[in-house]
Amino acid sequence: MEKIKEPFFNYETKEGRIAGMREIGRNLSISENISLEIFRTMAYRGDIDDDVIALYPEVFSLWTIDLVCLKGTIIRGSDGLLYSANSDIKPGQNSDPVYEETGKLWKLVKGKNDR
Calculate the average pLDDT of the chain. 83
In terms of Cβ atoms closer than 10 Å to its own Cβ (0-12, 13-18, 19+), residue 85 is buried
| Residue 83, strand partner residues | 75, 108
Q: What is the mean pLDDT of residues 91-114?
A: 82
CATH architecture of the domain covering 49-115 = Ribbon (2.10)
Span 14-39, pLDDT tens digits: 777 777 777 777 777 888 888 999 99
Span 97-108, pLDDT tens digits: 888 877 788 999
Query: Domain residues of the chain, as ranges?
Result: 1-48, 49-115
Q: Amino acid identity of 94?
A: N
Cα separation, 57 vs 39, in Å, equals: 12
Rg (CA), the chain: 21
Cα separation, 6 vs 16, in Å, equals: 13
Cα separation, 58 vs 92, in Å, equals: 26
* Length of the chain, in residues: 115
Cα separation, 113 vs 115, in Å, equals: 6
Say which residues have a Cβ less than 8 Å from residue 95's Cβ, sequence separation at least 6. Answer: 105, 106
